[in-house]
Structure 1
Amino acid sequence: MVTGKGAKDAADDASESAAHAGKQAGNAARQAGDSKTLETVGRWGFFFSGLLHVLIGLLALRIGFGGSGGNADQTGALAEIAGKPGGAAVLWVAVCAFFALGLWQVTEILFGARAAKDREKLKHRAKSLGQAIVYFALGSSALTFALGGSKDSGKQSSGVSAQLMQSTAGKGVLIVGGAIILGVGVYYVVKGLRQKHREQLKDTSSTLGRTVVWLGTIGYPAKGVALGVVGILFAFAAITADPKKAQGIDAAVKTLGSSPAGSVLLIIVGLGVIVFGLYLMGRTKTGKM
């Protein structure tokens, strides 16, 4: 028969065991975050993200010069890679790199907030969460193409938008989402112009480091303009009940192209997005992890 004291001792032992197991799991996660292998593979996530931006910029330029550019977004860029000799192998490397970078961001959410103030810690974790979602989404998209599949992110966005437009609340969600994307675009513009991206770099004094700084100074505002147009289109899609306008970067590019002086704007934005891609590639070597 178990006495009251015996039951208490058993409960204490169970609690200590659970705490020990939790501590071991935490240590394992910290070690994963500090892993040189994870860091090395994760750095290649920056490279492939940069490669996608370069391809998106080239697709935008193709449209700007009057050609048929296909989808000027990440799925269009992945399709370009998949269609080249050896493209499948490149995509598999990209899958590993994107998921590694996403996993590294997860460790940042759990253990990377070293700021002294709680508000700064919350901001750091929120930023890491957003980046983790982005890189896992890129990894999933790359995996789809690596397995021989394909998808159209623009049509997916349009389909979701059409469903949301069936209700007033859904339209409100689209408008709020558009405002958030517009806000991120403005943030990118300000970040580039004020060179806040220097904080992401461990090397800003060497020739390569200074070059990467200036690539970011030009690239961030260009990416911000593209995101700003996306945000405006999402809100406008809700107001006009036209889900075709809510198709992400591809819709933004084609909207710019159809505006007065559209070809010139597309060429400028396309070049800017390419520069942003080169900045991300430069982070492979000079960025902090």
Structure 2
Amino acid sequence: MSGPGTAAGAAGRAGQSDALEHLARVGLIAYGMVHVLVAWLALQLAWGGGSSESADQSGALATLAESPVGKPLLWVLAVGLVALALWQAAEVVRWRSGWSASGDTRKKAVEKTVKAVAKAVVYAALAVLAFRAATGGGQSGSGQQQQTTAGVLGWPGGRWLVAAAGLVVIGVGAHHVLKGLKKGFLEEIDLASAPPTAERTVTRLGQVGYPAKGVAFAVVGALLVYAALTFDPARASGLDGAMRTILDAPFGRVLLTLVALGIAAFGAFCFVRARYPERT
């Protein structure tokens, strides 16, 4: 006997697997570590630390690879990030079964499915970056994004696709800001098993971390839109370019420092979430 119900049940059992949950905790720690390293690179950029790495995820992983235990740790992080992607894939199947419902139940199922797909893609992409860093391959995130943007701009209607992608990224940034202001991130923490001190700590971290990450996303999206308007893929310089754009703004050093501290707070939020995870 097969069908959506049995698929959802199998996904639920997979998502509840102790082994997968333990690996997903490692993935959350890895996700947090990437953000802390990005924050450190952004601070170096703001205060002239002279780092040769780009202030983005690929730069963070490259920095980790240069440490004495970097390569083995990158393999562990990559496996954990793959587990996170699988964790969210199981959520996709579980919530997809609710699409046949009606009213608010169906609306919630569609929303949860879309979010789980987006998270699975992000975690899988970071896992690929971690594998490349562990094997000494790949290039900077800004370089990859510029190549991709150049290719898309060459398509019929490519300029509109790049602009639309930029607007979507801006929307994601706005969502992160609102999520931080409205404390929506608390749904990702199992508050029932967390002590009051942990709840207060994670609330403060989320209130700072999510808006800061949202601002970075919004700048990345704005650069994509600008690349589409000017037909210049070099403008689409990813997160590293967003950091440099913030630095070039009035009071840029202070603004970039605040964004970096906020991104570090998001990384710390991921560490707490790894201790008290709640799948959503």
Which range moves more in the overlay, 172-181 or 194-203? 194-203
Q: CA RMSD in A?
A: 2.0
Q: 1:130 aligns with which of 108, 118, 124?
A: 118
| Aligned residue identity for 1:87 | G
| Aligned residue identity for 2:66 | G
Asked whether the 8 Å contact 2:9–2:94 carries over to 1, the reply is: no
| Aligned residue identity for 1:50 | G
Q: 1:282: how far off?
A: 1.2
Distance in structure 1 (CA, Å) of the matches to 2:95 and 2:3: 21
Match of 2:14 in 1: 32
Q: 1:88: how far off?
A: 0.9
Distance in structure 2 (CA, Å) of the matches to 1:30 and 1:274: 32
Q: 1:260 aligns with which of 234, 240, 250?
A: 250
Which range moves more in the overlay, 49-58 or 142-151? 142-151
Asked whether the 8 Å contact 1:79–1:150 carries over to 2, the reply is: no
Q: Deviations over 1:74-107 (max 9, x none)?
A: 0000001100011111111101100011001111
Instruction: Give aligned-pair identity as a percent.
Output: 37
Structure 2, gaps ≥5 residues long? 99-103
Match of 1:238 in 2: 228
Distance in structure 1 (CA, Å) of the matches to 2:161 and 2:187: 33
Distance in structure 2 (CA, Å) of the matches to 1:282 and 1:199: 13
Structure 1, gaps ≥5 residues long? 1-18
Larger radius of gyration: 1
Give the alignment of 1:1-289 within 5 angstroms: 19=1, 28-69=10-51, 70-112=53-95, 117-167=105-155, 169-203=157-191, 205-289=195-279
Q: Secondary structure at the match of 2:157?
A: helix
Q: Secondary structure at the match of 1:136?
A: helix
Distance in structure 2 (CA, Å) of the matches to 1:262 and 1:162: 28
Q: 1:150: how far off?
A: 3.3
Which aligned runs of 4 or more in structure 1 are off by greater than 3 angstroms?
19-30, 112-116
Distance in structure 1 (CA, Å) of the matches to 2:108 and 2:264: 32
Q: 1:171: how far off?
A: 0.6
Distance in structure 1 (CA, Å) of the matches to 2:5 and 2:110: 22
Distance in structure 1 (CA, Å) of the matches to 2:96 and 2:5: 18
TM-score after normalising by structure 1: 0.88
TM-score after normalising by structure 2: 0.91
* Equivalent pairs, count: 271
Which range moves more in the overlay, 264-273 or 76-85? 264-273
Distance in structure 2 (CA, Å) of the matches to 1:188 and 1:25: 31
Q: 1:210: how far off?
A: 1.5
